[in-house]
A and B are shown apart, each in its own frame.
Chain A
C-alpha cells in the first residue's frame, strides 16, 4: 500500500470501516460503506433484510443498506446532491483497484472508468417514486 493509501486507510477505517475498494462511493450512500455489506452490494439492500432491520448474513449486525438509506435522508450537513445520488445505478466494481487510494483515483478520474460495454441508464434515477 502506498503512502496516500495508508493515510486514507488510517482515517477511513475507524470511521467507516473502509474496505479500501479504491473507488469510493460513501458520499452517495449516506456515508455508509457498501463494501461492509457481506454481499458487497453497491445498489441497495438485498431482499433478505430481517424483520428487525438486521442483516440476512449477520443477524447481529444492522443491515448496511438500512443504515445507509436512513442516513442518506437524515444525516445533517450533507449536500443535497449527495442525497439525490443515493438511487444512482453504481457500475460494477473494478477489482484491480482494491487497496488503492480512492482519493488518488478520484483526482485522476480512474474511479469513474467503467467497462466499455457498460452503459449507464439513459433516464434519471427514480428518486421521485414516493412509497
Chain B
C-alpha cells in the first residue's frame, strides 16, 4: 500500500502532502532537481492534471516520473478535460504503474486557462468522480464490467473552505467523505475564521476521524502572488489587509515568510486537522526553514521513527 494509505490507516500521525511543480519539457533529471526542495518533507505529492486549465505533461506521465525519482505521487484527476471513459482509463493506467493515491477534482473551468476557447467536458462532477474511483477500487468499471484483480486505490478529494455558500462547504465536504474520500486537500484560505468554522463543523460530526483534513498553504515570497491569486484564481479571496501587510513591509520576503508560518501554525492548531498540503512558490529553500520552525521532521525520519514505534509495540 502507498505510504499515504498506510498513514491514513494508522490514523494519528502527521500527514504532509505537496504540490509537485508542473512539467513543461526537460528530462527526468531536470524534474528530479525541481522536486528536490519540497519532496523531502512530503509523504506524497500531487501529480497535477493540467493545473489552472493550462496544458502540461499529463497527470499520469508526471505520476510515473515522480515514482521513478522516488517520490510518492497522488494522481490528480479533474473533470474538465476528459469524459468518464478517459478518466477510468487514466486511473487504471496509473494503477498499472503502481500509482495508488487518487485525488478527485471538479477542476477549474477552461476560461481560467490560456486556451479559453477549448471545449469543456465536465461529463462527471467531483463527487461523482470519487464514487467512480470507488467502483474501480471495488473491482468494476462504471459499466459493471469486472476488474480482476481490483486496483488498490487510496481516494481523496479537495474542497474550498473559504468560498460561497460558506455554510454549505462543510456539508459538501461531508458528501465527498461519504462518497469515499479518505483525505481532503483544502484550497488555500486567507480567512482564518472560515477555515476554523469549516474544520470545526467536520470535526464535531466525526468526519475528521474518517478523512484526513489537509489545509493548503502556499509559500509566497512577496505580495505579487497574493495579488495574483486574489484577482486571477477562481474561489480565492485575499483580504486587502493581508496583501498590504506583505506589500508594505520593509522586507516583503521575510514578512511573507512570517505570514506563511502563521498560517501553518494556525491550521495545525485546529482540532481535526491532520496535516498540511504545501505549495512552494518561493523557490528559495525556505521549505526547510518552515518545517524546522514548525517542528516537522523530514519524511525519511518520520518514516523510520514510525517504524521504530511500530516495532516497539
Contacts and interface: CB of A to CB of B under 8 A. Distances in A.
B108 interface: yes
B174 A43 contact: no
Interface in B161-184: 163-172, 174-175, 177-179
Interface string A32-47: 0000001111111111
B168 A39 contact: no
A129 B132 CA distance: 24
Interface stretch (A9-17, A84-92, A102-110): A84-92
Interface string B91-124: 0000000000000001011011000000010111
B227 interface: no
B175 A69 contact: no
A2 interface: no
Nearest to B197: A131
B165 A56 contact: no
Given A39-B79, A46-B235, A51-B163, 7 more contacts: A46-B126, A47-B106, A50-B235, A65-B165, A93-B123, A126-B207, A129-B201
Report, nearest first, the 6 A-B pairs whose CB atoms are least far apart: A116-B144, A48-B234, A126-B174, A47-B160, A56-B234, A43-B127
Interface of B: 79-80, 84, 106, 108-109, 111-112, 120, 122-128, 131-132, 134-135, 138, 140-145, 158-160, 163-172, 174-175, 177-179, 187, 197-198, 201-202, 204-205, 207, 234-235, 237
